[in-house]
């Protein structure tokens, strides 16, 4: 699994766990829905750390908690 795939899987996991939509995450994080959608469909390239930070803020977790997942243990760096 690549790092980008791991990020997508983690976002999906957190969306489901928090029972929110990508639109709701967009509102909470301040990231345009189109940007999140591009990230999720793989067309947006690699997310910057600042984007990950905003996503984590949208889930009300730290960046450390965002990366604290088995998805990242198997990622290719």
pLDDT tens string 18-27: 999 999 999 9
Per-residue pLDDT of the chain (77 residues), as tens digits, is 888 999 999 999 999 999 999 999 999 999 999 999 999 999 988 999 999 999 999 999 999 999 999 888 865 55
Angle at 40 between CA 33 and CA 60, to 5 degrees: 65
Q: Which domains does the chain have, with CATH numbers?
A: 3-72 (1.10.260.40)
Q: Give the C-alpha separation, 2 to 15, whole Å.
A: 20
Specify the pLDDT at position 25: 98
Total H helices, total E strands in the chain:
6, 0
pLDDT of res. 75: 59
pTM over 0.95: no
């Amino acid at each position: 699994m690549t790092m980008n795939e791991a990020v997508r899987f983690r976002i999906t996991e957190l969306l489901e766990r928090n029972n929110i939509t990508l639109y709701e995450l967009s509102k909470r994080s301040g990231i345009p829905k189109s940007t999140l959608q591009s990230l999720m469909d793989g067309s947006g390239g690699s997310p910057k750390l600042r984007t990950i930070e905003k996503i984590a803020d949208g889930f009300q977790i730290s960046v450390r908690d965002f990366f604290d997942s088995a998805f990242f243990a198997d990622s290719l760096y």
